[in-house]
Amino acid sequence: MTPSQSVSQPRVLAGFDGSTPAWRALERAAEEAELRSVPLEILLGRPWDRTGPPESADQGALFESAHAMVERAAGQLRERHPGLELTASVSSQPAGSELLRRGRRAALTVVGNRGRGDIAGLLLGSVSMAVAAHAERPLLVVREDAEARHGRVLMGLKSEADQEALGYAFEEAARRGAELLVLRAWRFSTYPTTVPDEQTAAAVARFAVREEREKHPEVTVRTEAVLGDEARRLAEASAEADVLVIAAHRNRHRFGPRLGPVTHAVLHHARCPVAVVPAE
């Protein structure tokens, strides 16, 4: 199923834990739901960490406190977005696994780049990383300091095989009335006959967008080939984008899928929200 295809009970799912990044992600999730004209679901995972609740803790009281926190968040969103349909709940399951389960039926899952339990200064939290590595539907990772709007969607193109992410990027640009910049990075090599030069890299990008350009004539799209490390060039360009779209190329590992190095680096260093679209 591609990102452009409908899913059952389409909605935006937002992970929330009361942290500053989670509040920023929640506001962005409300905007995303309004852009799609779908409901918003707010989810708070079980109110203790993976080691379990403290021995002296009253689990009922922990859940009661968690419900009160998520309802306060929902109430504030209802005031700021009066036309938005939303629900809020607390799960007895860990946040990461529950976001993945519910996210299979969501149009988009939104999380902050780090949560309340993560180490201060950490660029990407454990829950965000786990969901990015396993999500089967598009995921938006939001930084709490990404406030400026530029009227641009940025897409990092690895090859013409990134059609699902490319289609999502066109849809994002259409929803926002923004221009789309498709960026393809290339490098010099000691074997120049086997590595595309700048002209070839630019031609690949132009060819890749041709089909989606015909589907979305309302979108102004520009393709650009740049010399240098892909992750670094995308992170630099993200400073002037409202969202960066990237295909999730995952490496298989005996402990489960792992994010590819470019996706991993972009999630840590991008200066705008990053939409991770699972690649086939």
Query: What pLDDT does residue 35 have?
Result: 95
Assess if residue 261 is contained within a domain.
Answer: yes
Domain finish residue from 97, 117, 142: 142
Given the structure tokens 């740049």, which residue do they identify? 226
Residues 138 and 157 in one domain: no
Rounded CA separation 3/280 (Å)? 12
Assess if residue 248 is contained within a domain.
Answer: yes
Query: What pLDDT does residue 118 have?
Result: 43
Residue 79 has pLDDT above 70, yes or no: yes
pTM of the shown model = 0.86
Asked if 123 contacts 268 with a C-beta cutoff of 8 angstroms, the reply is yes
Rounded CA separation 29/107 (Å)? 11
Higher pLDDT residue, 121 or 117?
A: 117
Residues 28 and 73 in one domain: yes
Residues 243 and 266 in one domain: yes
Domain boundaries, position 238:
152-278
The enclosing domain of 18 has a CATH number of 3.40.50.620
For 252, left (φ over 0), alpha (ψ -120 to 50), or beta?
beta
Assess if residue 5 is contained within a domain.
Answer: no
Residues 112 and 156 in one domain: no
Residues 16 and 138 in one domain: yes
Query: What pLDDT does residue 270 have?
Result: 92
Residue 12 has pLDDT above 60, yes or no: yes
Task: Provide the percentage of residues in the chain whose pLDDT is more than 70.
Answer: 79
Residues 79 and 132 in one domain: yes
Residues 236 and 185 in one domain: yes
Domains in the chain, number: 2
Q: 65-73, long-range: CB within 8 Å, 24+ apart, which pairs?
A: 66/90, 69/18, 69/44, 70/16, 70/42, 70/44, 73/16, 73/18, 73/23, 73/26, 73/42
Residue 119 has pLDDT above 90, yes or no: no
Residues 21 and 119 in one domain: yes
Q: Regarding beta strands 139-142 and 274-278, do their DSSP bridges make them parallel or antiparallel, or are they unpaired?
A: antiparallel
Q: Regarding beta strands 139-142 and 108-112, do their DSSP bridges make them parallel or antiparallel, or are they unpaired?
A: parallel
Residues 42 and 124 in one domain: yes
Confidence of residue 47 (pLDDT cuts 50, 70, 90): low
Rounded CA separation 268/141 (Å)? 10
Query: What pLDDT does residue 128 have?
Result: 83
Assess if residue 104 is contained within a domain.
Answer: yes
Residues 225 and 249 in one domain: yes
Residue 120 has pLDDT above 60, yes or no: no
Domain finish residue from 90, 113, 142: 142
Domain finish residue from 121, 142, 163: 142
Residue 154 has pLDDT above 80, yes or no: yes
Q: Regarding beta strands 108-112 and 179-186, do their DSSP bridges make them parallel or antiparallel, or are they unpaired?
A: unpaired
Assess if residue 1 is contained within a domain.
Answer: no
Rounded CA separation 113/101 (Å)? 19
Burial class from Cβ neighbours inside 10 Å (0-12, 13-18, 19+) for residue 58 reads exposed
Rounded CA separation 127/232 (Å)? 24
Assess if residue 27 is contained within a domain.
Answer: yes
Higher pLDDT residue, 38 or 252?
A: 38
Q: Mean pLDDT over residues 130-159, rounded? A: 87
Residue 99 has pLDDT above 60, yes or no: yes
Asked if 246 contacts 234 with a C-beta cutoff of 8 angstroms, the reply is yes
Residues 56 and 118 in one domain: yes
Confidence of residue 1 (pLDDT cuts 50, 70, 90): very low
